[in-house]
Amino acid sequence: MANRLNTSLLATGERHVLQALAPRLPAWTTPDHLTAVGLAGAVATAAGFALTHWSAWFLWAVVAGLFLNWFGDSLDGTLARHRGIERPRYGFLLDHSSDLIAQSLIVVGLGISPYFTLPSALFVLSLYLLMSSYTYLRVATAGVHRLSYGGMGATEFRILVAAWSLFACWLGPQVVEARLWRFTVLDVTIGTASAIAFALFVWMVRQDLSRMDRDEEQETATVHRLPTRRVLAEPAPAEPAQELDRELPSVSAG
């Protein structure tokens, strides 16, 4: 099982909340139920974003959906660990497949709302999928499951989506309509931030590869040195010959 690493801004406080909630859930609740609740929250979020074209009051459905997504997605693994019913392979596949579906729904929903643009949303989604793919590669190659980058995890991302939507609703349409040359200011800003994040991702991959290369070289050198040490430590095979030499005179004497 991979070591979980979460260094997000809210990780410590969130862990305490989840550990307090898990024992209080009804006995009939299962981790799979919670995963389904998280997916339902993502669907509600996307639907709420689509409906904001008719009324901004549907932002309450967005906020409620994000809360349900957090509740189900964050608590399913905590409940499994609390009850000692973990299923490492099944749980990993189910949980993270659900995460990919849920986050895609949330981000695309934001992109089709009046408070964001679809190109900017696709920039964000591409980076999310890129980092998710690399996270799963690190699980397979290093046994480390990293849940946050730069202090930003799934919980912080949900809060950011809700805060931006409420802010954009308060500020008005100009937040997405302001233009810089042929592009909206929002697309230019998100595109630039995405390019910087992509460059940092490439640098991070290079650092990880260098570290793995050094570790493997050290392991190979250690393995190559071990046989030499064992040969030197083995006793010389002289005793059987000495014993034979001691027995030959007595045979001749007979």
DSSP 67-96: HHHHHHHHHHHHHHHHHT---HHHHHHHHH
Phi, psi at 77, each rounded to 5°: -70, -40
Report angle CA 210, 213, 216 to the nearest 5 degrees: 150
pTM, entire model: 0.82
Topology of domain 3-170 in CATH is Four Helix Bundle (Hemerythrin (Met), subunit A) (1.20.120)
Domain positions in the chain are 3-170
Span 62-105, pLDDT tens digits: 999 999 999 999 999 999 999 999 998 998 999 999 999 999 99
- Per-residue pLDDT of 18-66, as tens digits, reads 999 999 999 999 999 999 999 999 999 999 999 999 999 999 999 999 9
